[in-house]
Structure 1
């Protein structure tokens, strides 16, 4: 009985070895084949992939014709550049949206109504107007002083006398101060315009946000 058992074991072991070898042989025999289009656009199935068509994209099939995977065409430098540009544009749009969200939060924290924005605008403009009026007053005084210097200089020249260096330098310095004050006044006037536009933008944005809130409330409220 022991001999029979050993014989059965030997046969079973031999069968397992043969099965394993058969599977290994089948695995080795399994091949991948390629389907691609040639220069004429005709589909070709081959067990070899020509290097010149590899970059154009192809399909990998099993030896039984089952589609295993698809290899897309290699992107050209122009396509890669366009893809990078699209990603950069998406990142830029996302960054701008985040900046706008933060600006909206600050706007709603700073003001509780459009009247608050208008009041803040009036305070800012009033301060700028005060500074501009001071510059205008100084300009009038310097213009009058320059006129006096020039009248004195003209009288001296009519007498045939030469102007002293101190008077000449005083006139030159006064003209330089007038020019500087005129530039400063121009800056203040531009600042008034910029501040007015900035506050108007805040008013428009605040109104837009309030309209969105009202719309969401109307959509969420039961009819």
Structure 2
């Protein structure tokens, strides 16, 4: 007991002497607090406190990180930096979007207008196919009548038949492309519609993974 008190008194005396001289260092050695005017090189990586002449904390130097901790820190930092970039990019896109559309109803009106334009083009192509098919059948009938008479089908009539067949195929391709365009319009405006629902609740720049869909307003049928 006497020896422990003696050691404690000695440490206190050393601390007082060091404090009087200027900054000192506080660190742990085997679970015991030590105050000295310097930190041993082999203990510095474990971390220490810098105290002023009044014993007040001036600076706390944390322990050095392990290679694994450094790798994890750098990974988390990179993830956060990438997230911040995504937020800024999303925020700019949201601002651009809100300059064009104020409400979901605006999006629906724009989709309806563009869809009607595509549907009109599709109907025109369908009517064109009907007209071309009628002309093709007439040309084919004329060619058949010519052959029944034992005469050669004029090259001009053959070219006319090929022209109608090619035109019909082109119109069919155009209709398929217009149908795909309608699907694309529905998808793209659906994405815009959903984003405006998000922006009615969350601030611009909110990432998709941070959105709670249960908080969003219900979609109109």
Class of the TM-score when normalised by the shorter of the 2 chains: 0.5 to 0.7
2:140 equivalent to 1:150: yes
1:174 alignment partner, one of 164, 179, 187: 164
Query: Counterpart in 2 of 1:164?
Result: 154
Query: Counterpart in 1 of 2:189?
Result: 199
The 3 A distance-change label for structure 1 pair 92 and 136 is: farther
Q: What is the TM-score when the length of structure 1 is the normalising length? A: 0.55
Query: Counterpart in 1 of 2:173?
Result: 183
Runs (5+) with no aligned partner, structure 1? 1-63, 214-223
Q: What is the TM-score when the length of structure 2 is the normalising length? A: 0.55
* Secondary structure at the counterpart of residue 112 of structure 1: coil
> How much does 1:104 deviate?
1.1
> How much does 1:166 deviate?
0.8
User: Distance in 2 between the 1:140 and 1:153 partners?
Assistant: 20
Q: 1:32-73 CA deviation, whole Å, 9 max, x = no partner?
A: xxxxxxxxxxxxxxxxxxxxxxxxxxxxxxxx9632776999
Higher helix residue share: 1
The 3 A distance-change label for structure 1 pair 159 and 96 is: farther
> How much does 1:124 deviate?
0.8
- Which structure has the larger Rg over C-alpha atoms? 1
2:139 equivalent to 1:139: no
The 3 A distance-change label for structure 1 pair 91 and 133 is: farther
Query: Counterpart in 2 of 1:52?
Result: none
2:51 equivalent to 1:66: no
Count, aligned residues: 142
> How much does 1:169 deviate?
0.9
The 3 A distance-change label for structure 1 pair 91 and 151 is: farther
User: Distance in 2 between the 1:138 and 1:74 partners?
Assistant: 72
2:118 alignment partner, one of 113, 122, 128: 128
2:104 equivalent to 1:114: yes
More displaced, 90-99 or 141-150? 90-99
2:87 alignment partner, one of 90, 97, 122: 97
